[in-house]
Amino acid sequence: MNATVYYEPYKVPAGILALAVHCAFFVLLYFGFTWQTQPAATMSVELWQNLPDAVPSAQPQPKPKPQPKVEEVVRPVPPKEVVKPDIALPGKKKIEPKPVVIKPEPIKQAVEKPDTSAEDQAVREQAAAVGRVVDEYTAKIQNKIRRNIVMPPSVADDARAEFLVTLLPGGTVLNARLTKSSGNAAYDNAVERAILKSQPLPLPADVAMFNKFRELKLGFRPVE
């Protein structure tokens, strides 16, 4: 009967591991024994028969000669001025004096104003007199024109026609222009004809007053 030999691959690593364990065990035993058998440290003692001579003492040093004393002359220091600081009290401000500036007062000269009350009074009286003359002759002109108006039928009592009349010296009518209609054309035409028919219109004798009558604004109503 033949015996067959089989190869077992797992036995090789196991053998190597067992060999490594035995080697480590022998190394530990060797170093442990060597450490325990190390010799103890020795101590040497030196014996002296006689003590060594003492160290010779140092030679005495000569004493220093006394130096002459020099007296210092101390000069008196003049006292310094003590400047007292300004103490600012809490809640109070330091008040500094303000310079007083004296301005010279202008010399007032008495100016005598002329008494114009009399002149003003004369001017007012003259203007009032001119106004009375203008009102008087304006009323005369309107009355003369009104007498020459031929009243058309069916004219309202509140109808009013206004004209701007331009005059020449002597009372001649240069132009009569309607500025505001009464709303009734027949009444407007009747007033215009009456203005032209009434010339020469009455004017004051004073030629200087003509400027007040060069242009007149006249208004007319059927019932006045």
What is the CATH number for 187? 3.30.1150.10
In the block, tokens 């190597």 appear at 16
In a domain, 115, yes or no: no
Q: Please tell me the predicted confidence (pLDDT) of residue 148.
A: 95
Q: What is the mean pLDDT of each run of 10 residues along the chain (224 residues)?
A: 50 72 75 57 58 52 63 60 55 60 60 70 90 94 94 91 94 94 94 94 91 93 86
In a domain, 133, yes or no: yes
* Token pair in block for residue 119: 């002149």
Q: Please tell me the predicted confidence (pLDDT) of residue 3.
A: 47
pTM confidence score: 0.47
Domain that includes residue 187, residue range: 128-220
Q: Please tell me the predicted confidence (pLDDT) of residue 147.
A: 94
What separation in angstroms does the CA of 99 have from each of 93, 102, 105? 18, 10, 18
Half-sphere exposure in the Cβ direction for 218 (13 Å, CA): 31
In a domain, 203, yes or no: yes
In a domain, 187, yes or no: yes
In a domain, 95, yes or no: no
- Round to whole Å and give the CA distance between 175 and 218: 13
Q: Please tell me the predicted confidence (pLDDT) of residue 63.
A: 67
In the block, tokens 């009104």 appear at 146
Q: Please tell me the predicted confidence (pLDDT) of residue 115.
A: 59
| 8 A C-beta contact, residue 142 and residue 220 | yes
Q: Please tell me the predicted confidence (pLDDT) of residue 117.
A: 81
In a domain, 138, yes or no: yes
| Domain tally, the chain | 1
Q: Please tell me the predicted confidence (pLDDT) of residue 1.
A: 45
In a domain, 194, yes or no: yes
- Round to whole Å and give the CA distance between 118 and 193: 48
In a domain, 44, yes or no: no
Q: Please tell me the predicted confidence (pLDDT) of residue 186.
A: 94
